[in-house]
């Protein structure tokens, strides 16, 4: 089974990457953008998805400064589009 986990900074935690992108977007002509946050997407194939929360708590995310969300657990598919 393919699982996707979204990891992002907790509310109130400094996000220097997000701030840099937020400052850069208007310089590139993109107006009206606020509250930019940068996270990461982790994809993995796993036999037992019930292990995912513990994996996130112990390794994939830093629970002190990051929140995680198990975005989806789907059967492995090779028809996904990449953008």
Q: Which residues of 36-68 are buried (b: 16+ CB within 10 A; e: fewer)?
A: eeebeebeeeeeeeeebeebbeeebbeeeebeb
Residue 82 belongs to a domain: no
pLDDT greater than 70 at residue 82: no
* 30/33 Cα distance (integer angstroms): 7
CA distance 66 to 83: 26
Provide the number of structural domains found in the chain. Answer: 1
Q: Is residue 83 part of a domain?
A: no
Does residue 79 form part of some domain?
Answer: no
**The pLDDT value given to residue 74:** 67
Q: pLDDT digit string (tens) for 63-76?
A: 999 999 998 766 65
5-62 pLDDT, tens digit each: 999 999 999 999 999 999 999 999 999 999 999 999 999 999 999 999 999 999 999 9
- Does residue 29 lie within any of the structural domains? yes
Is the full-model pTM beyond 0.75? yes
Asked if residue 9 belongs to a domain, the reply is: yes
The answer as to whether 66 is a domain residue is yes
Supply the range of the domain harboring residue 28.
Answer: 2-74
Q: Is residue 77 pLDDT above 60, yes or no?
A: no
Q: Domain of 34: which CATH number?
A: 3.30.1280.10
């Amino acid at each position: 089974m393919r699982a996707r986990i979204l990891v992002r900074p907790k509310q109130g935690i400094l996000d220097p990457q997000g701030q840099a992108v937020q400052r850069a977007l208007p310089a590139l002509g993109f107006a009206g953008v606020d509250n930019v946050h940068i996270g990461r997407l982790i994809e993995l194939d796993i036999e037992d998805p019930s292990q995912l929360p513990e994996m996130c708590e112990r390794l994939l995310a830093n629970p002190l400064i990051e929140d995680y969300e198990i975005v989806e657990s789907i059967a492995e598919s090779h028809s996904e589009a990449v953008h």
